Amino acid sequence: MAVVDDLTHPPAKRIRRGGDGLIAAGSLILLIVLVGAIAAPWLSQWGPTEIDPIAFLEPPGPGHWLGTDGNGMDIWSRLLFAARIDLGVAVASVALAVIVGGTIGLATGYAGGWVEETTMRLLDIVQAFPVFILALTVAALLGNSLHTLILAIGLINAPAYARLMRAEVRSLKRHIYIEAAECAGNSRLSILFRHLLPNALTPLLVIAPLNCGWAILMLAGLSFLGLGVAVPTAEWGAMISTGAADVVGGRWWTSVFPGLALFITVLGFNLIGEGLLQRTGQRR
Amino acid sequence: MRLTRYIIRRLLLLIPVLIGVSVLTFVLIRVLPGDPVLLIVPETATEADIQQARERFGLDQPLVAQYLAYLGDVLRGDLGRSITTNNPVSEQLTRRVPLTLELIVYAMGLALIIAVVGGIYAARRAGRPSDHTARVVALAGNSLPEFWLGLVLVLIFYQALGWAPPPAGRISPLFSVPPITGFITIDALLQGDLPAFLSALHHLMLPVLTLAIVITAPLLRSVRASALEVIDSDSYRCAESHGLKDRVLLFAYLFRLTLIRLPTLAALVFGNLLGGSVLVEYVFSWQGLGQWALRGLLLRDYPVIQAYVLVVATFYVLVFLIADLLQAALDPRVEV
Amino acid sequence: MTGTDVLEISGLTVDIDGPNGTVRALDQVSLSVAAGEVFGLVGESGGGKSMLARSIVRQLPGRARVSGNVQVDGRDVFAMDAEALRQHRGAGAALCFQTPRSSLSPARTVGHQIVDRLRAHAGMDQAAAWAAALALFQQVGIREPERRLHTFPHEMSGGQCQRVMIALALACGPRLLLADEPSTGLDVTLTRDILALIAAQAGKDRGVIVISHDLAAIAAICDRIGVLETGRLVEIGPTAQLLTRPTHPYTKRLVAAVPDINQVRASTGAPVDDGGPLLAVENTDVVYRSRFGRQGHQALFDVSLSLQKGETLGIVGESGCGKSTLSRTIMGLIRPTRGRVMIDGVDLAGLGRSRLRHLRNRMQMVFQDPIDALNPRRSVAQIVADPLRLIRLDRAEQDRRIDAILTDVGLGPDYRKRRPHELSGGQAQRVGIARALVIDPALVVLDEPTSALDVTIQAQILELIRRLTARRDRGYLFVSHDLAIVRSICDRVMVLSEGRVVEEGPTDRLFQAPQDPYTRRLLAAVPSLPTVSERHAGNGG
């Protein structure tokens, strides 16, 4: 059989794109933050809500490395413990958003027709809603606990994932392999779960890190307005909020350090997200 | 003619969205724990007093009846009165909306200019140091919490350097500008009061800069990505391979195609700014729409929250309509 | 006939640095093209044809390293400064890009695009440039030129876009006109006109290079042809000589791979007639409805056909004639608006989703785009096993069947673990064929199974299909736009035009004595090498 050329063709190498450096840098940042969060009790002499009665608004120094706030609490210690809450809420809420939004998008995108139209119009309404009002009402409705914050931030994020998943499913449906799967005798469920879902999931997971960064900013913003984590609990946004009043007096350390921690952590997530986008060829 | 029909059709589509939004708000805030009536009646009030207050605001009616009554009022242009201050909501809105709009319009304008110029510049130098710098700055800008950035800017430019005014108020107390449009910079110019205009700009400087820094990042990245895509497209390469002059290439073959995708993202950013300005307003004690709504929410002031949500949703939908029109104007392939 | 050299390339080597190492895109290429000459550059994808064109206008990817010399009009292209290069691009050498629709700027009227070029190179003012643009449109044969000047590319057909692209290149006043795959996406009759138009541009001061993967298509217009294989110019010579006495093995393979319209199907026994037809399509209409149910587009009009077991029926027509709609209707992917599609006497339209699904072990399909027809996340074994879920088999039996069918299509069990991105186009199509055959269906629909492949690969896949159809154990429906291929494979042929059957009959009868004028036009437009070499015998070799 004359099949020399065709069959000696070597398997193509996977095309490598940039982005590895960004992912490495972001991972390193998050790893440091994560270690800080886990090892918090061993990395600081003070508890996160422990009050030093002789040091109120003390500037950074040997006793309190990053100073104390107006309540006499050690900022370094609070920074470390806050990482637990901020990282946890971010990851949990994004996971919730991916699951809820992804399911809605997959179902509507595949079903098409009026189901799709109706769902999309409902999502329009939710998305035209001011984000803060939505978060605040959900949080207020279900009580001011960490679980409700996760739920609120997750649900606000879900429509975006639903849209992305729907768009992805719609574009995948145009591929011939979906038609080929139907010809091969796959049932609708089999096409959905064997052929559409695995291919549609990647873009959702790729933007998840970017979204974690956004979720942390959201949580911190809510706490900054006094609507997120309750006051003595260590959380970066709440710490900035406490420190905001000291800014005009020139006492910068109470707000600058928690803000830096927040910024660096979000940057870590964004670096990974950006790197993943580059790797998958969605951004250069 | 077709354009008018399109605009009318889109505006009609606004109605179901607004009805949906108002129903959602109505239900959400009424199932919230907390009773506004208890917040306004004096502590000595009897059951009967409370009941009377409830009736005054129609809060004793069933939810559906309350909603229909509210809808009827809104259609007649009556947004009700604040439960806590008893001021007409529409009056407060007309005072507050220009304050916030002034903030976000300047920020958006600044961000758009930086994003378009910087994005195209970076794309034309893709892979070179200036491009990398632009990308790192965009990535960092995207990671900044805007309320903290505001505080840091205050620390630097007010506290340390003394270049900026204190973070309170929109103009120096030495000036008074009688409102015409409500936009203080425009009012000052209309009245030919240059010093007042400069003072207003001075007070706008830090809040606008804060917002602009944060929203420039996604816009810049998007412009850079679209410009790169155009530069890498066959259509641009073809024009380049036919030896067109640089200026023609830049404006006729790169600029317009790059901008085609901007309106949608810009609308998203701009739409979110109105609802999200509350953080920056809070930092700079800016008495805008966001702060008003925040207080309304904390006090369970139903008419205030309802009006706020309606305004934000309408703004959102209108901004997207304008974006779609702009896109159709830029891209002949899009039909309206 | 030919004058001085306008292009002189000597020892041109281009290396591209990529993430997976350096790739030599061009290797010591030397050639020259004279004014008045039409030079053909032929090779398969990845051969370096486009890279050669890009080198001539010095528009290479950023990571390219170049050695050797390219001279246009006696001036070294790689020694030019920015302004000289700008003038060289266009006025020296102008490139007609492949796929003109996406190579014209989408947000600018075609008139403006021409005027931009006239002003850049001829230094005309606005009025003169618009007048010259109109003249160019007339020259390249665009109907209603005044109106067309003010339209956008997306409002034009593929053929018109190609004419505009030629006009754009001519507007630069080039010494050398380069046309990259000018016949991509065009039907046979249109291809002939476009190629003739391009060839006519060779003149006293201008040479022409036509780049193509399709030797047969361009042979008729070229004075000389060069053959590129993986970056090396393996053979170059006058057209007639190259076609009749190719010396390099690769050229020989290319020439041999050109489907020959005169090649007749080797007789391999008669169709098995065992009762009723395997497939019967009766008076079928298909109307696509637009979103709101108005202005439907009718793709098929009253189509009827029948197919016996052991028979191969060819369905021929140009793009848009409804062949794909017909094959998708037969597969039950589209429901006919009117009429019946019957497999073994069962009407598909009357079946529920589940019954239709279970009928799929009787019919399978092979698709045009071999790569996109395979789910990128699944291994070859998983892909081939997909239809087997219709009949429950134990693991060992399933594996045995997969290995057997992979071997049958020429791949073998070694390919089980590969993913689609690790396959070449030809390999992917073999996997697609294996998937269709693994369940042993009675009917196989082959929808343009080779049109997305390079010619030498195409010949190999066709060989496989010929071998399969010769077994006479199934009914095959072979859909193609290529008459020569159809003749070499099918027992019977049906010609489709604008959704209607214009002619049907046994292959030999239809090719020797076509009845319908449309069939005759189609047959006349087919390029074929022997006639070409005769034409060139006088002036070429």
A126 touches chain C (CB under 8 A): no
Phi/psi of residue B6, nearest 5 degrees: -60, -45
Residue of B nearest to C112 (CA): B252
> Is the alpha carbon torsion for B96, B98, B100, B103 positive or negative?
negative
Phi/psi of residue C153, nearest 5 degrees: -55, -35
Q: What is the pLDDT of residue A135?
A: 77
The Cα C127–Cα C115 span in angstroms is 9
| Count of C-beta atoms within a 10 Å radius of residue C267 | 9
Q: Which helix (H) or strand (E) holds C66?
A: strand C64-72
Q: What is the pLDDT of residue B242?
A: 95
B60 touches chain C (CB under 8 A): no
The Cα C166–Cα C113 span in angstroms is 12
A55-108 tens-digit pLDDT: 788 888 887 778 888 888 888 989 999 999 999 999 999 999 999 999 999 999
B15 touches chain A (CB under 8 A): no
User: Among C291, C386, C450, which would you mutate to test the A interface (most chain A Cβ atoms within 10 Å of its Cβ)?
Assistant: C386
Q: Are C454 and A6 in contact, with CB atoms under 8 Å apart?
A: no
- What's the gap in Å between the CA of B6 and the closest CA on chain C? 17
A167 touches chain B (CB under 8 A): no
Contacting B residues, span 317-336, partner chain A, CB-CB under 8 Å: 317
Strand pairing category for C443-447 and C475-480: parallel
Q: Are B328 and B259 in contact, with CB atoms under 8 Å apart?
A: no
Q: What is the pLDDT of residue C530?
A: 52
Assign C304 to helix, strand or coil.
strand
Q: Which residue has the tokens 């796929």?
A: C99
- What's the gap in Å between the CA of C182 and the closest CA on chain A? 26
DSSP string over C1-52: ---SEEEEEEEEEEEEEETTEEEEEEEEEEEEEETT-EEEEE--TTSSHHHH
B9-26 tens-digit pLDDT: 888 888 888 888 888 888
C-alpha closest to that of B2 among B333, B328, B330:
B328
The arithmetic mean of pLDDT across residues A263-278, rounded, is 92
- What's the gap in Å between the CA of B230 and the closest CA on chain C? 10
The Cα C178–Cα B296 span in angstroms is 70
The arithmetic mean of pLDDT across residues B267-285, rounded, is 89
Q: Which helix (H) or strand (E) holds C75?
A: strand C75-76
- Please measure the distance between the N-terminal and C-terminal CA atoms of chain C and give it in whole angstroms: 14
CA distances from A262 to A50, B143, B146, B151, C478 (A): 22, 9, 11, 14, 63
Is B312's CB within 8 Å of A248's CB?
Answer: no
Q: Are C218 and C210 in contact, with CB atoms under 8 Å apart?
A: yes
Is C172's CB within 8 Å of B242's CB?
Answer: yes
Is B127's CB within 8 Å of C62's CB?
Answer: yes
| Count of C-beta atoms within a 10 Å radius of residue A113 | 8
The Cα C60–Cα C54 span in angstroms is 6
- Please measure the distance between the N-terminal and C-terminal CA atoms of chain A and give it in whole angstroms: 44
The DSSP 8-state label assigned to residue C422 in this structure reads G
Q: Are A138 and A148 in contact, with CB atoms under 8 Å apart?
A: yes
Q: What is the pLDDT of residue C431?
A: 95
> With contacts defined as CB-CB under 8 Å, which chain B residues touch A136?
297
pLDDT > 70: what percent of chain B? 99
Residue of A nearest to C354 (CA): A187
Residue of B nearest to C120 (CA): B244
> With contacts defined as CB-CB under 8 Å, which chain B residues touch A224?
145, 147, 279, 282
C137 touches chain A (CB under 8 A): no
Assign B301 to helix, strand or coil.
coil
| Count of C-beta atoms within a 10 Å radius of residue C55 | 24
Residue of A nearest to C424 (CA): A9
Is C386's CB within 8 Å of A185's CB?
Answer: yes
B198-218 burial string, b = 16+ CB within 10 Å, else e? ebbeebbbbbbbbbbbbbbbb
Q: What is the pTM of this model?
A: 0.83
The Cα B272–Cα B98 span in angstroms is 16
The DSSP 8-state label assigned to residue C67 in this structure reads E
Phi/psi of residue C269, nearest 5 degrees: 90, 165
Contacting B residues, span 289-318, partner chain A, CB-CB under 8 Å: 290, 293-294, 297, 305, 308-309, 312-313, 316-317
The Cα B149–Cα C137 span in angstroms is 59
Q: What is the pLDDT of residue A11?
A: 43
Point out the residue among B127, B242, B332 whose CB comes nearest to the CB of C117: B242
Q: Are C514 and C520 in contact, with CB atoms under 8 Å apart?
A: yes
> How many helices and strands, by DSSP H and E, does chain C display?
21, 20
> With contacts defined as CB-CB under 8 Å, which chain A residues touch B166?
248
Residue of B nearest to C55 (CA): B241
The arithmetic mean of pLDDT across residues B295-304, rounded, is 85
- What's the gap in Å between the CA of A7 and the closest CA on chain B? 32
Q: Order of strands across the sheet with C312-316?
A: C363-366, C443-447, C475-480, C312-316, C492-497, C500-506
- What's the gap in Å between the CA of C420 and the closest CA on chain A? 10
> With contacts defined as CB-CB under 8 Å, which chain A residues touch C414?
none
Bridge partners, residue C232, by sequence: C229
Mean confidence (pLDDT) of chain B: 87
Q: What is the pLDDT of residue C140?
A: 92
A188 touches chain C (CB under 8 A): yes
Which runs of consecutive H residues, i.e. helices, occur in A225-282? Answer: 236-247, 253-279
> With contacts defined as CB-CB under 8 Å, which chain A residues touch B282?
224-225
Q: What is the pLDDT of residue A2?
A: 30
Q: pLDDT-based confidence at A270, cuts 50/70/90? A: very high
Q: What is the pLDDT of residue A283?
A: 63
DSSP string over B21-44: HHHHHHHHHHSSS--HHHHHS-TT
CA distances from B215 to A284, B67, B93, C406 (A): 20, 37, 25, 55
B144-195 tens-digit pLDDT: 999 999 999 999 999 889 898 888 888 888 888 888 888 888 888 888 888 8
C-alpha closest to that of A221 among A259, A166, A182:
A259
**Token pair of C345 as six digits:** 């006497």
Point out the residue among A124, A213, A224 whose CB comes nearest to the CB of B279: A224
A54 touches chain C (CB under 8 A): no
Q: pLDDT-based confidence at B274, cuts 50/70/90? A: confident
The Cα B322–Cα B263 span in angstroms is 8
Q: What is the pLDDT of residue A284?
A: 56
Q: What is the pLDDT of residue A4?
A: 35
Assign C479 to helix, strand or coil.
strand
The Cα A222–Cα B28 span in angstroms is 18
Q: How many residues does chain B have?
A: 336
Q: Are C379 and C419 in contact, with CB atoms under 8 Å apart?
A: yes
Is B33's CB within 8 Å of A141's CB?
Answer: yes
C-alpha closest to that of B333 among B264, B260, B267:
B260
Query: Residue C426 carries which side chain, given as an amino acid letter?
Result: G
Mean confidence (pLDDT) of chain A: 84
Contacting C residues, span 12-41, partner chain A, CB-CB under 8 Å: 19-20
Residue of B nearest to A251 (CA): B155
C-alpha closest to that of C220 among C207, C239, C204:
C239
Q: pLDDT of chain C along its 541 residues, tens only? A: 456 899 999 999 999 887 677 888 999 999 999 999 999 999 887 788 889 999 999 998 877 899 999 999 999 999 999 999 999 999 999 999 988 888 999 989 999 999 999 999 988 999 999 999 999 999 999 989 999 999 999 888 888 999 999 999 999 999 999 999 998 778 777 888 899 999 999 988 899 999 998 888 888 899 999 999 989 999 999 999 998 899 999 999 888 887 777 776 665 566 656 667 889 999 999 988 765 545 678 889 999 999 998 899 999 988 778 888 999 999 998 889 999 999 988 898 888 888 888 889 899 999 988 989 999 989 999 999 999 988 888 899 999 999 999 999 988 898 999 999 888 888 999 999 999 999 999 999 999 998 888 888 888 899 999 999 988 889 999 999 888 889 889 999 999 998 999 999 999 899 989 999 999 988 887 776 654 444 444 343 3
DSSP string over B156-174: IIIIIS--S--SS-SS-TT
Which ipTM value was assigned to this complex? 0.86
> With contacts defined as CB-CB under 8 Å, which chain B residues touch C57?
241
Is B151's CB within 8 Å of A255's CB?
Answer: yes
Q: What is the pLDDT of residue C295?
A: 61
Kindly report which listed range (A196-205, B58-67, B195-204, C197-206) carries the lowest average pLDDT score: B58-67
Phi/psi of residue B298, nearest 5 degrees: -65, -35
Q: pLDDT-based confidence at B74, cuts 50/70/90? A: confident
Residue of A nearest to C438 (CA): A184
Q: Are A143 and B30 in contact, with CB atoms under 8 Å apart?
A: no
The Cα A247–Cα B161 span in angstroms is 14
